[in-house]
Amino acid sequence: MQFSPRNSGLKSWKRWNAVKTGGKNAVNAVGIIGTERGNNDMMLDFIRNIPQDLHPILIHFPIAFLGFSFVLSFLSMRVSRWNEVSWLLLWVGGLSCIPASVSGVISHFPYEETELHGVIETHQNFGILGTLFVFVLVGIRYWTRRRNRDFGLRKSYLVPAGAGLIWIILLGGTGGQLTYQYGINVRGVNPLFHESWESKVINESSQEIGSNTDH
């Protein structure tokens, strides 16, 4: 029996059954039921889902601003003019951490009583601690700049800048893991993975049927 998607993915996957030869003891397999929509409806889904998807939208701003700020801090040791750009990106990135962190905590609420609470909490802790670290760093640089002794121009600043880059990698990595491995807030199924998943279920069902027949 061959299973394949219809209409090149424009229709959702249908529930299906792996049936024993002869029609006896049908083995029900998990399927996916969705609603048929046109391309325009599918593209406009993001509008009504923005409140739910606010965190992954907002988090890219601090990642970009702070990431470039820390990288430019290393470059400014050789070309001092990059220091001002690094400072600008640092405080803008610090401000963007506020809505990103708040939206992250809100996104966590629906999963408080689930088994995924633990893995989400790891990512959340990285985010909160990192945000506090950025606020402290912004405060220190602001204070030293007012005294014409910008901490960002010292080689010792490369230590927190390097730590900041590591933090961004860990934060982005754990966030990506929540999405791509655990499917947090994912409402669809990747059709590239569906065929292999489907084949696996069919093979397992066939083996179970064969085992029951032998008995």
For residue range 26-39, list pLDDT tens digits in order: 333 334 444 444 55
123, 18: one domain: no
pLDDT tier at 60, thresholds 50, 70, 90: very high
Amino acid (one-letter) located at 14: K
152, 135: one domain: yes
pLDDT score of 127: 92
**Which stretch of 40-44, 79-83, 189-193 has the lowest confidence by average pLDDT?**
40-44
pLDDT score of 16: 33
20, 40: one domain: yes
210, 141: one domain: no
Torsion angles phi and psi, residue 85, rounded to 5: -65, -40
96, 174: one domain: yes
Q: Where do we find the tokens 């490369």?
A: 158
The predicted model scores a pTM of 0.67
Per-residue pLDDT tens digits for 128-142:
999 999 999 999 999
176, 79: one domain: yes
pLDDT score of 44: 67
- Judge whether 2 lies within some domain: no
What do you get for the CA distance between the two ends of the chain, in Å?
Answer: 24
**Residue pair 60/25 in contact by the 8 Å Cβ criterion:** no
Per-residue pLDDT tens digits for 169-189:
999 999 999 988 888 877 776
Under DSSP, the state recorded for 153 is G
What mean pLDDT is predicted for residues 146-168?
A: 93
What the block records as the tokens of 102 is 């708040």
- Judge whether 79 lies within some domain: yes
Q: What residues contact residue 172 under an 8 Å CB cut-off, 6+ apart? A: 63
Give yes or no for residue 147 having a pLDDT over 60. Answer: yes
Q: Where do we find the tokens 């992250």?
A: 104
- Judge whether 106 lies within some domain: yes
134, 160: one domain: yes
pLDDT score of 137: 96
142, 205: one domain: no
Average pLDDT over the chain reads 76
**Residue pair 76/152 in contact by the 8 Å Cβ criterion:** yes
* C-alpha dihedral sign at 78, 158, 96, 171: positive
- Judge whether 171 lies within some domain: yes
- Judge whether 114 lies within some domain: yes
Q: Where do we find the tokens 């402290």?
A: 136
Per-residue pLDDT tens digits for 3-29:
343 333 333 333 333 333 333 333 333
- Judge whether 72 lies within some domain: yes
- Judge whether 176 lies within some domain: yes
Please name the residue ranges forming H helices in 49-157: 54-58, 60-75, 82-108, 117-146
Task: Provide, rounded to the nearest whole percent, the portion of the chain with pLDDT above 90.
Answer: 42
Q: Longest Cα pair distance anywhere in the chain, in angstroms?
A: 86
39, 58: one domain: no
Per-residue pLDDT tens digits for 68-115:
999 999 999 988 889 999 999 999 999 999 999 999 988 888 888 888
146, 200: one domain: no
Quote the number of domains for the chain: 2
72, 40: one domain: no
pLDDT score of 200: 57
Determine the structural domain holding residue 159 and report its residue range.
54-180
Q: Is 22 helix (H, G, I), strand (E, B) or coil?
A: coil
The alpha-carbon radius of gyration of the chain (Å, integer) is 25
- Judge whether 162 lies within some domain: yes
65, 148: one domain: yes
Q: What residues contact residue 215 under an 8 Å CB cut-off, 6+ apart? A: none
Under DSSP, the state recorded for 24 is -
- 133: nearest Cα among 99, 172, 166: 166
What residues are paired with 17 via a beta bridge?
A: 28
